[in-house]
Structure formats: structure tokens, C-alpha cells
Amino acid sequence: MEPVVIPAILARTREELLQRISQVNGLVGEIQLDIMDGDFVPNKTVGLDDLVSIPVLKNARYEFHWMVRNPEKWIERIPGSHMHLVHVETIKSFEEIEAAVRKSGGRLGIAINPETPLEALLPFASKVQRILVMTVHPGFSGQKYIAEMEKKIRVLRAKFPKLDIEVDGGVNLETIRGAYAAGANILAAASAIFASPDKKSAIEKLRACALGGGTQ
């Protein structure tokens, strides 16, 4: 699978959210929105009221990374063919989550935290369209990439050779090659893109590095 780099946006205000979306709109086919409720993770971002009227993208879709309790209550409020990533650690009723995704018209993926055994995720893997392996502890941008999580990626890729496998956390020019080589084909990056004055160039360099093109 070819590597796909997607920008990850962590925004605390609607103004910041819209600004960052505008900075990468037109450069990629998918934009990740990190949503935190201050409960599941010790941080809080924009809430539902800020999300229900976000811009419809002409040539891209959103990926909602739900770092929240009861993700089904959030998902059912967001219509569209978006990807919804829910954390396995928050699942109470997988059927209710599936129903919320169907109601929204979206697609479903599962995310797993670094400390969570892979066995917790495997029962759901055949029922989703994407798996996200967190390579940091969720909650804050700019953390150091946990290379040991590449073992999880290798196991998942061996078990599910055609499934989209994503990594999120600490992905930059130095770490992206290892994540891709381990089997992740979707690579979410925040600081490595938004800290650059040239977002298009940053995305292109990340993709080149994933393919082994160096760090320059």
C-alpha cells in the first residue's frame, strides 16, 4: 500500500479549527480532527456545537478521532461519509456505535492506546474499515513517538493485509519511515505539518521519507 499522509488538527476553539482546516484544504484527501472531552483524556478541544457546522470539503473528507466517552452520542450528530475512529477503551456497546455510524452515513474505525493489549481490539478488527495505533499517549500534540508500537502494527498487518492501518502521534521526518515499514499505510501528522510555513512541502517531504527518501 502506498503511504497516505493526513494532517491532524487539535484545536481548542472554532476559530483555530477553521484556520487549520483552511491551511491544508486542497492539499490532501482527508483531514483528521482530534476531538477530546476532558474526561477520557486530560485535555479538551472543540465540542459538538463547533463541529456540526464545519465547512463541507469539496475534494476531501474528515476523519474524526473521538477521544471521548460515549462516542456514539457524538457520532450520530455528525452526518456525512466521514471516518469515525473510536477508542477500544471506550466501547460499552459496539452495536450502538455501529448504529450511530450507520445513522450518520459514515465509516467506522477503531483506535488503541499504547498501554492497551492488542487482544482487546482483535474482536472488532473484522468489523471496521480502519485501525489506528496510537504511538503516543493521547491528549496532547508534540509528544515523542513510541517506537515499540511498531510491533503492534506488524502483527496487525500480518493478520489483516488489506486493512487500512493508521498511526498517530509523534510522526515526523525521523519516525515516519519506521511506521510505514512496519505496515502502517495512513500516517497522521500534526506538528510536522502545521509547524512548517509550507504545508504542501511538509506533506510531500513526509511522504518521501516514508518511502525511504531521506529526511531532507
Catalytic residues: 34, 168
Tell the residue number behind the cell numbers 502521534, with chain if given. Answer: 169
CA distance 19 to 11: 10
3-state helix, strand, coil in the chain (%, to 5): 35, 20, 40
SS3 18: helix
Cell numbers standing for residue 122: 482483535
What secondary structure does DSSP assign to 173-210, as a single string? TTTHHHHHHHT--EEEESHHHHTSS-HHHHHHHHHHHH
